[in-house]
């Protein structure tokens, strides 16, 4: 399975080009769990894919995150991640 970082760069390029997000960290472990954290001037978007399930959150800072289901639904116009 491809790392979530690569999938987001391919399927959601508008996050970078139109909204100014940048990748600040990413990782993949031995069990194919992958994470990527995107940041813009005002928001932080952490994504985590584990066992084929994607969890996405949005936060104005490191401490307050919204419900992942709603974030994923808002981004789902690009198709499944």
Domain ranges of the chain: 4-78
pLDDT of 70: 47
More confident position, 60 or 26: 26
Residues 11 and 79: beta-carbon distance below 8 Å: yes
Q: Which tops the pLDDT comparison, 46 or 80? A: 46
Q: How far apart are CA 39 and CA 42, in angstroms?
A: 8
Percent of the chain with pLDDT over 70: 74
**What's the pLDDT score for residue 32?**
85
Cα–Cα distances (Å) from 13 to 16, 23, 32, 61, 73, in that order, read 6, 12, 23, 22, 17
Give pTM, 2 decimals.
0.75
């Amino acid at each position: 399975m491809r790392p979530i970082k690569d999938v987001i760069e391919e399927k959601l390029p508008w996050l970078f080009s139109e909204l100014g997000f940048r990748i600040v960290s990413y990782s993949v472990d031995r069990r194919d769990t992958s994470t990527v954290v995107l940041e813009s001037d005002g928001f932080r978007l952490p994504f985590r894919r584990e066992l084929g399930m994607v969890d996405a959150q949005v936060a104005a800072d490191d401490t307050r995150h919204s419900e992942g289901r709603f974030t994923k639904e808002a981004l789902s116009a690009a198709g499944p991640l």
